[in-house]
Amino acid sequence: MLSTFLIWTNILLCPIAAVVLLLRRSYLVSTLLLTAALLSLSALSFIDFSTLQQPEQLFFLRKYALYFEGLTVVCLYYYTKTAFRDNSEIYKGFGFWISLAVVFFLLAFVFFTPTEALIFSPDFVEEHLIFLTKSGFVVYLLLMIFLVFGLVQLERTLAGLHQLQRWNIKLNVISSGLLLAAFALYFSHSLLYRSINMDFLAARSFAVLAAIVLLSYGRLVQKNGVKLALSRGIAHRSFVLLIVGGYLILLGVVGEGLRYLNISNAKPIFYLLLLISTLALAVIFLSEKLRRKLTVILHKNFYQSKYDYQEQWQSFAHRVAAETTLSKIQTAILDQICAPLACKGGAFYLYDFESKSYVYTVSFNLRRDWRPFTENDPLVTVLREKDWILNLKEDHPELEGSLVESFSDIGAFLVLPLYFDEDLAGFIVLGEQINPDEKLTYEDYDLLRMLSRQSIATVQGLRLSEQLSTARELAAIGKVSTFVLHDLKNQVSGLSLMLDNAKDYISDPDFQQDMLETVDSTVLNMKGLIARLKNIKEKPELVIASVPIKKIIQDAIETSGSLVELRGEPAQVAVDEEEIYKVILNLLVNAAEASRHEKPVVITYGQREGFAFIEVRDSGCGMDADFIEDKLFKPFETTKKHGLGIGLYQCKQIIEEHEGCIEVNSREGEGSTFTISLPLISERPLL
């Protein structure tokens, strides 16, 4: 009765699980292979059930059973070969084509060979035993090889993934391994005794049921003096082998006990216990928390030092050196710092000289928080006074009111100060550990100090390199400006000469014509030169006065000659009119150049939240998020073919000198909106 129930659960649940996989619209090769395996397994279970119910149809039904057994095993094998990995190079491997050839040969052999040449059963009705011929034995031997290699593929996949990635897919791996192990145990009888015992169908069906439950949960719920010095890798593997060896010995004792007690049908019970215990063992070894505890036990009992510092240093240097950009290097540093403590993630904060605060730069598996830490934040004060690593699990009353208190909901664990040239250049916030009960020792803190010092040296070196590159670019543009000014001087000299001659020849019609042509040519040349000359001021001297914001906007519109749609409400601002006029004119010209033909630039102005605002919106191609975050408002970064990338940089400098801010909202293909916020007349004293 139980066997019938378990087989029918396979028949019904396997197609349901396959349909659910397809409805998720993730048509990867691995997903399609798993779907095919589940459908084939459902058909196989139905044929096996029919064989038990209609033993007289044994040879007819086993023909199709053999075919679906082969198809299921092959699909599971290729699923383990393609799941959770990059498959772009799989077809280039020689072994792939060999396995494919063996598959086609095996399926064709089973399909075209008479069933009587593969199996025989003198008394199937009473014993439910199917004996194998030599050809049948070879078929099951090949299937067993595919199963073993499939389990090896799963182990290689797990070994190649990051520990957090392993944590996200462990249930999927267990379910896949359970399906392979179920068939391996079912077929092992055929290799030992050259027979198939269909009384073991209950154990196989139970394993399949457990695998489907785990697969469904994983896909739908989880998203993603001198001491002896031992090699850490050997110690880990030896400890695992010790546990597995003890597990096998225990199974042997249980099997011998069942035989000694002369319990009927002992083998099915033994295989059922084997499947359950194997599942439990797999869950234990795939638990990152238990693996972390195992590592700590080994460190305490076998090693003189908790860490292999040479290995840690080599891993850090190799990982960081492999990256090229500042953001990727910071992400790699976070990964390397999180790994030894088994932290789930972290965030990088660096000091920004313009805003005079510690701003978020990158994060790794931690919620992003855009709010900066000001210089007066209690956390910054504590880190500057004491070059200590702060454990946020401990009581720190001096951090009351700090922004870091808002990190408690994401399990912030440690704060690592980053000192460069005796100044606090930044800090790293680490998320909670996989094993939250683990206690840190002095060796953990020593390792973190070593990694943090090397990290900030690497980051600051790259930042200083970027600043030096910008300074060189500014020097280069200065040299270019010198040549441009020389050309302007030549143009002015030509005009001066023309004016001197005009005193004597102004009444001559030919001279008048030449004079007009000269002036026209000079104006065109000067416009071209002036367009390439940008005056970048680090700190312009402002003349603050009360000005209606509408007046400045109208002056800029009149100068630009652009098609503009203007709307808003009056607002009086305290600004340097000339400087703000330059900013609005620059934004207006940029918007007009970016907008589509016959589409006006929309300017909206008014006041809100104690500030005056000006919005300049165009209907152009927009900008992508990476350009806005990494390049916008920086010198020599532009989307224009012939631009210098200085205009917006100068605009930002001017607005910030007015104690205002400039922001942008842009999407590719939808245009851009630049918003300027300036102090109202009542918010800022006049000079």
d(C-alpha 323, C-alpha 328), whole Å:
6
Closest CA to 211 of 184, 188, 246, 187: 184
Work out the pLDDT band at 163, boundaries 50, 70, 90. Answer: low
Let me know if domain 309-463 sits in CATH 3.30.450.40. yes
Mean pLDDT calculated for residue range 22-28: 71
Mean pLDDT calculated for residue range 64-78: 88
Structure-token pair, residue 184: 């391996």
pTM score, whole prediction: 0.40
Mean pLDDT calculated for residue range 546-573: 84
pLDDT value at residue 248: 60
Mean pLDDT calculated for residue range 551-580: 84
pLDDT value at residue 615: 92
Amino acid letter for position 297 = I
Between residues 581 and 266, the one the model is more confident about: 581
Amino acid letter for position 671 = G
Residue 392 reports pLDDT greater than 80: yes
d(C-alpha 391, C-alpha 409), whole Å:
16
pLDDT value at residue 614: 92
Helix orientation angle between 2-23 and 201-220, rounded to the nearest 10 degrees: 30
Under CATH, what is the fold of the domain 545-679?
Answer: Heat Shock Protein 90 (3.30.565)
Work out the pLDDT band at 265, boundaries 50, 70, 90. Answer: low
pLDDT value at residue 575: 87
Work out the pLDDT band at 461, boundaries 50, 70, 90. Answer: confident
Helix (H, G, I), strand (E, B) or coil at 463: helix
Strands 564-568 and 601-608: parallel
pLDDT value at residue 234: 44
CA atoms within 13 A on the CB side of 562: 30
Alpha carbon 109 to chain centroid, angstroms: 46
Least confident of 20-29, 330-339, 429-438, 525-534: 525-534
In sequence order, the 6+-apart residues with CB closer than 8 A to the CB of 592 are 560, 562, 563, 601, 618
pLDDT value at residue 536: 43
User: Among residues of the chain, what percentage have pLDDT more than 70?
Assistant: 72
545 forms beta bridges with 575
Query: CATH second-level architecture of 2-224?
Result: Up-down Bundle (1.20)
In sequence order, the 6+-apart residues with CB closer than 8 A to the CB of 14 are 38, 39, 41, 42, 45, 208, 212
Q: Sign of torsion, CA 406 410 415 416?
A: negative
Residue 592 reports pLDDT greater than 90: no
Work out the pLDDT band at 669, boundaries 50, 70, 90. Answer: confident
**Which of the residue ranges 129-133, 316-320, 407-411, 592-596 has the most confident prediction, judged by mean pLDDT?**
129-133
Asked if 561 and 589 touch (Cβ cutoff 8 Å), the reply is no
Query: What is the pLDDT of the chain when averaged over all its residues?
Result: 76
Asked if 346 and 338 touch (Cβ cutoff 8 Å), the reply is yes
What is the Cα Rg of the chain in Å?
37
Asked if 654 and 542 touch (Cβ cutoff 8 Å), the reply is no
Residue 598 burial (C-beta neighbours within 10 Å; 0-12, 13-18, 19+): exposed
Closest CA to 611 of 552, 549, 686: 549
Residue 604 reports pLDDT greater than 90: yes
566 forms beta bridges with 603
Beta strands in 492-650 (DSSP E): 545-548, 564-568, 572-575, 601-608, 611-617
Provide the H-helix boundaries in 161-223: 163-193, 201-220
Q: What CA dihedral angle connects 303, 305, 311 and 317, to 10 degrees?
A: 160
Helix (H, G, I), strand (E, B) or coil at 583: helix
Closest CA to 247 of 282, 214, 272: 282
Least confident of 154-168, 183-197, 476-490, 499-513: 476-490
d(C-alpha 563, C-alpha 589), whole Å:
10
Residue 538 reports pLDDT greater than 50: no
d(C-alpha 623, C-alpha 665), whole Å:
9
Work out the pLDDT band at 521, boundaries 50, 70, 90. Answer: low
d(C-alpha 18, C-alpha 36), whole Å:
8
d(C-alpha 265, C-alpha 288), whole Å:
38
Helix (H, G, I), strand (E, B) or coil at 243: helix
pLDDT digits (tens, 9 = 90+) for 87-145: 655 666 677 788 888 888 888 888 888 888 888 888 887 778 888 888 888 888 888 88
Asked if 195 and 151 touch (Cβ cutoff 8 Å), the reply is no
Neighbours of 571 (CB within 10 A): 20
Structure-token pair, residue 547: 């000005």
Structure-token pair, residue 534: 């940008």
pLDDT value at residue 632: 77
Work out the pLDDT band at 223, boundaries 50, 70, 90. Answer: very low
Residue 343 burial (C-beta neighbours within 10 Å; 0-12, 13-18, 19+): buried
d(C-alpha 558, C-alpha 585), whole Å:
10
Mean pLDDT calculated for residue range 580-600: 81
Work out the pLDDT band at 76, boundaries 50, 70, 90. Answer: confident
pLDDT value at residue 605: 92
pLDDT digits (tens, 9 = 90+) for 616-651: 988 888 887 777 777 777 665 555 544 445 677 778
Provide the H-helix boundaries in 91-162: 94-112, 124-127, 134-160
pLDDT digits (tens, 9 = 90+) for 230-259: 444 544 554 555 566 566 666 666 666 666
Structure-token pair, residue 330: 């910071």
In sequence order, the 6+-apart residues with CB closer than 8 A to the CB of 164 are 288, 344, 365
Mean pLDDT calculated for residue range 27-48: 86
pLDDT value at residue 226: 34
Residue 429 reports pLDDT greater than 80: yes
pLDDT value at residue 369: 62
